[in-house]
Amino acid sequence: MKRTLTRQANWFFAYTAGGADHVAAQGFPRDRITVVQNSTDTTALAEARKQVTDEQVAEFSSRHGLVPGRTGLYLGRLHTTKRLPFLLEAVTHIVKRMPDFKLLVAGDGACRSLIEAAAERGEGVVYVGPVHDERRALLGAASQLMLMPGLVGLCAVDSFALGTPLVTTAWPYHSPEFEYLEHGRNSMTVEGGPEEYAKAVVHTLSTPRLMARLKDACASDTDRYTVEAMSARFTEGVAGLLETRPPIISGG
């Protein structure tokens, strides 16, 4: 059904380059495809991150018992697609190798009780509840890595804006924005189970040159994936569409 509808369209707006390649492979003209590079308002988040002070980070870290250089962040829905049992098992392995490590968990959802139970048991998990706007910036400033072994979507651009590189897994069910991640450059993608994931996190935190490279790439990509750039590309696509014929629009 989607292929049939797409063939009737005059223009196609793809979230990512991978989506454009897929549609083109089905026979849709490449010169009538616009890659918008889907994003959220990372400009505001990046600006909020710049406004976080060292004093705010120190106070927050002291309140939650965080050790500099030993903090991870989970930021997103507490949903089964995020592989939270995998994440919690990985944290137990991380703590065995790095006893002062803590994972900040921010969000809400159906699996909230699982996170709260882990936090109550003192298994290296600190649950801070749902967060929005400037508070996300503070969490990013207090953390060194974002841990997301399950579905990666727009958290990819959040990690860039926060300067908190993402560590994920080679899972087959990621959203299109997973394409923005480049292993060893702006993120880490791990093969294997929770123990292999934990080893990768500990190695990354313990390797200053790798951490610096990941953070530099995140800073560079912050300006690449923005809602302003997405809007500009969409506008260019609409202009191209209107130059062809009365519009029938498809997208995905």
Query: How far is it, in rounded angstroms, from Cα 66 to Cα 117?
Result: 19
CATH number of the domain enclosing 120: 3.40.50.2000
Residue 244's CB is within 10 A of a number of other CB atoms, namely 10
Do 17 and 77 fall into the same domain? no
Q: What is the pTM of this model?
A: 0.91
Residue 147 phi, psi (nearest 5): -105, 120
Domain identity same for 35 and 55: no
The residue segments making up the domain with residue 126 are 42-222
Same domain, 139 and 231: no
> What does the pLDDT profile of the chain (252 residues) look like in tens digits?
888 888 888 899 999 999 999 999 989 999 999 999 999 989 999 999 999 999 999 999 999 999 999 999 999 999 999 999 999 999 999 999 999 999 999 999 999 999 999 999 988 999 999 998 789 999 999 999 999 999 999 999 999 999 999 999 999 999 999 999 999 999 999 999 999 999 999 999 999 999 999 999 999 999 999 999 999 999 999 999 988 866 556 666
Same domain, 54 and 157: yes
Same domain, 109 and 168: yes
Q: How far is CA 233 from CA 17, 20, 141, 216, in A?
A: 13, 14, 31, 25
How far apart are alpha carbons 79 and 72 in whole angstroms? 18
Could you give the number of structural domains in the chain? Answer: 2
